[in-house]
Structure 1
Amino acid sequence: MARLSRGDPSLLRRLNVVAVLRSLYDAGELTLTELVKASEVSRPTVEEIIADLEEQGLVVEVTVQPGAPRPVGRPAKRYRFRENAGCLAGLDIGPHKVLCLVSDLRGEIVGSARVDVRPEMSAAQRLAAAHSAVKEATGGRRVRVLGVGTTGIVSAGKVVRSDRLPDWEGVDLVAELGSGRPYPVLAGNDTKLATLAEHWRGAAHDTGDVIYLLVGRSISVGVLLGGKIHKGYNGGAGEIGVLRQLGWHTALDGFLSYGKDDPASGPSSEAAKRVFDAVRAGDPGAAAIVQAFVADLATGVAATVLTVDPQLVVIGGGLSQAGDLLAEPLRAELARLCLFPVQVETSVLGDESVALGAVRLALDHVEAELFGVAGAVGRPGGEV
């Protein structure tokens, strides 16, 4: 990544490098004259910095395409940031799937791979699936950072609690996925990373205080405060589902009974779809299932809303497919239970939210390397 040039460690030099690189990153491409103006750095210094950044592979001169109109006189040199100078990988390791999304250095998704897994798999088998997904998705590209999201409480890159995958507890994700590889691994809880994704590219974009519900085969909560994920002292913020009195561990059983799915596996997306399709068709039994589910869900959500006072509640995970069939009754219940009405929306990110949040985690690390004035960056084992 961008480094201090030619042994010059001065703060001014670093500020100039950041100003030039940020200008190109934000603008796409600029002439040398435009770059001098945008960065407010002298032309000789810009030229020197550009030469260094070209050497590092982060900047490239834009060549005139064959057949393109040529300006009169000598054409001005143009430069652009090389977003393909490596890639970022975001990995979602769950009970039923391992999903890897790959982005360029601007965060645009350029590849993906999915491997189906089972809850009863050993940690070694699940890690093998993760390695396979990363290899397939990256396709030989140079990986700059790998972000990882998984179920359970993650601290210092290690899964310290995991109720859904007992064999997963104690797994050091940084060591297992980063050992012998030339890139850092950053690990975090899946719900918190899904919350990060929702703030980045979902319903919570540009919203500072958010409660995110990951509702699929289980229910969990992510909390965003002031635009930042709230982790808590032990990394367990939002884990209110462990309170058996809330009934969240049985709240989804109605979908199973209607869809006749195996209760041990948790409600499939097909079972939930059947229920909501039946609601749309006017089935009172299906409507009663949704009503009971919302009543169970609302108590825990209301407690969190009353504690945090968010601008927005986002429903993510598999049941977000229900849209307003779930959002409207939850909105009504929260209005009844809480001091102030709260906006409730459903996510449009689908089952890619965790992997997308892992990409965002990796991108935050890269941006700190590129644009951090002090040159300080996250360390392997960083987390959300």
Structure 2
Amino acid sequence: MVKLSGGDPALLRRLNAAAVLHALHGAEELTLTELVKASQISRPTVEEIISDLAQQGLAEEVRPAPDGPRPVGRPAKHYRFRPEAGHLAGVDIGPHKVLCLIADLRGDIVASARADVHPEMSAAERLSAARDVIEQATQGRELRALGVGTTGVIARGKVVASGRLPDWQGLDLAGELGSGRPYPVLVGNDTKLATLAEHWRGAARSAGDVIYLLVGRSISVGLLVGGKLHVGYNGGAGEIGVLREVGWYTALDQVRSYGPEPLFAAVRQGDPEAASIVAAFVADLAIGVAATVLTVDPQLVVIGGGLSQAGDLLAGPLRAELSRLCLFPVQVEASILGDESVALGAVRLALDRVEEELFSVAES
């Protein structure tokens, strides 16, 4: 709680403006009376703040439809937050694709662009592809922030550890993509940002303690604890796959050799060999997941990545195996976000920064 005194009029104005903007942001539209009630600020002050927000392009009066019903007496004025007043971007820079999503100030996606890349591409070539995709998706819009998700351990905008992409380790990704830009560039690990996306728009919206399991061309883990992404002191929280004893290095070998789509199609048709491969894969997968479950005690385990398309053919056996290995049964669900999860998490990362600035009461 901020303690105000007679010498704090500027701070009081900023607090009032933030309260009104926050109320508008959380609703489709509000009348002046509703804004006064929501913000607990006097009517004249709210009117003054609305005028200021309108000049900034962040709010506007909602005019009644010309062909709509005419109310008796003087109609109440309605106001709305203008999410189109600014934009932000989230980009996924991976071994096989670069995907950029553009969102408005409410996080709704308004544009996207993507490009195929390959694992052997140099860092310079991958960065060039990322810049092109961001430019293509942005289409002249002015960005307020850019979120970036990529493989590797990330700390302070840099890739401090990575073995999947050439020349990627040691790269100052925030500096490379932010140079000469008027907006902040925020960088996070791809799996961790996918975890954030699941909590925002996916299967984990109602859960505070979550283990996100990215299972595709590799296996990795993201952790949500108390509703917040757990990154760790060095940015390496959840990187249990580096322990070869866990078995994740080789767990995908048979799945890859068969082919994920043909494998699960064969399981659906009752093929015993395919079922045996899936059972062996789940057994290898479950050891590391169970260790994480016993550490975090989550409400939910979400399976993301390419193999999440198998749905309950993978989630079901993993659920059963975790019930056998762990102290308590744990819910296991497949992600519904597809291959946009990392980019969506990067959008959320950027949106958090923008909202922090919008609702800040700090002196600019």
Identify the TM-score tier after normalising by the shorter chain.
over 0.9
Shift of 1:191: 0.4
- Quick one: distance in 1 between partners of 2:324 and 2:360? 46
- Pair 1:108 & 2:108 matched: yes
Query: Are 1:221 and 2:209 an aligned pair?
Result: no
Q: Which residue in 1 is equivalent to 2:23?
A: 23
The residue number in structure 2 matching 1:50 is 50
1:112 maps to amino acid: S
User: Could you tell me whether the CA contact under 8 Å between 1:369 and 1:375 is conserved in 2?
Assistant: no
Shift in Å, 1:73:
4.3
- Deviation per residue, 1:24-59 (Å, 9 max, x gap): 111221222322222211111111111111111111
Q: Secondary structure of the equivalent of 1:60?
A: strand
| 3-state SS in 1 of match to 2:283 | helix
Alignment of 1:167-206 (within 5 A): 167-206=167-206
Q: Give the secondary structure class of the aligned counterpart of 2:20.
A: helix
Letter in 1 for 2:342: V
Separation in 1, partners of 2:171, 2:255: 32
The residue aligned with 1:117 is 117
Could you tell me how far 1:324 is from its partner in structure 2? 0.8
Match of 1:300 in 2: 288
CA deviation profile, 1:327-379 (whole Å, cap 9, x unmatched)? 11111111111111111111111111000001111111111112234469xxx
CA shift, 1:216, in A, is 0.4
1:372 aligns with 2:360: yes
1:139 aligned partner, one-letter code: Q
Q: SS of 2:192's equivalent?
A: helix
SS of structure 2 residue aligned to 1:84: helix
Separation in 2 of the partners of 1:210 and 1:152? 21
Q: SS of 1:166's equivalent?
A: coil
Deviation at 1:171, TM superposition (A): 1.4
Distance 2:71 2:136 in 1: 44
Judge conservation of contact 2:29–2:80 (CA < 8 Å) in 1.
Answer: yes
Once residues 39 and 340 of structure 1 are traced to their aligned partners in structure 2, the CA distance between those partners, rounded to angstroms, is: 44
- The residue that corresponds to 1:330 in the other structure is 318
Within-5 A mapping of 1:1-384: 10-258=10-258, 271-374=259-362
- Deviation at 1:9? 6.3
Cα distance in structure 2, aligned partners of 1:32 and 1:147? 35
The gaps in structure 1 that reach 5 residues or longer are: 1-7, 259-270, 377-384
Task: Give the deviation of 1:139 after TM superposition.
Answer: 1.7
Check whether the contact 2:122–2:166 (CA below 8 A) recurs between aligned residues.
no
Mean CA deviation greater in 183-192 or 362-371: 362-371
Of 171-180 and 212-221, the range deviating more from structure 2: 171-180
The aligned residue for residue 5 of structure 2 is: none
User: Runs of 5+ in structure 2 lacking a partner?
Assistant: 1-7
- Which residue type is aligned with residue 312 of structure 1? L
Distance in 2 of aligned mates of 1:367 and 1:188: 18
Tell me which moved more, 238-247 or 66-75.
Answer: 66-75
The one-letter code of the counterpart of 2:189 is: N
Query: What letter is aligned with 1:107?
Result: G
Instruction: Tell me the TM-score normalised to structure 1 length.
Output: 0.90
**Displacement of 1:78:** 2.2
In structure 1, how many angstroms separate the alpha carbons of the residues matched to 2:155 and 2:335? 27
1:140-173 CA distance string (max 9 Å, x none): 2221110000000111001111111131111111
1:178-200 CA distance string (max 9 Å, x none): 11112111110000000001111
Q: What is the one-letter code of the residue matched to 2:148?
A: V
Q: Which residue is equivalent to 2:3?
A: none
Aligned-partner residue type, residue 278 of structure 2: V
Give me the identity figure in percent: 76
Structure 1 residues 359-368 or 9-18, which shifts more?
Answer: 9-18
> What is the rounded CA distance, in whole Å, between the counterparts of 2:326 and 2:64 in structure 1?
61
Q: What is the SS of the residue equivalent to 1:181?
A: coil
Q: TM-score, normalised by structure 2?
A: 0.95
C-alpha distance in 1 between matches for 2:170 and 2:222: 22
Give me the CA root mean square deviation.
Answer: 1.5
TM-aligned CA deviation for residue 69 of structure 1: 3.1
Q: For residues 156 and 342 of structure 2, what CA distance do their matches in structure 1 show?
A: 18
Aligned residues: 357
Query: Alpha-carbon deviations, 1:209-261, whole Å to 9, x = none?
Result: 11110000000000111011111111001001111112211111112222xxx
Deviates most, 88-97 or 201-210: 201-210
CA deviations 1:50-85 (Å, max 9, x no partner) are 111111111112223333333344443322100001
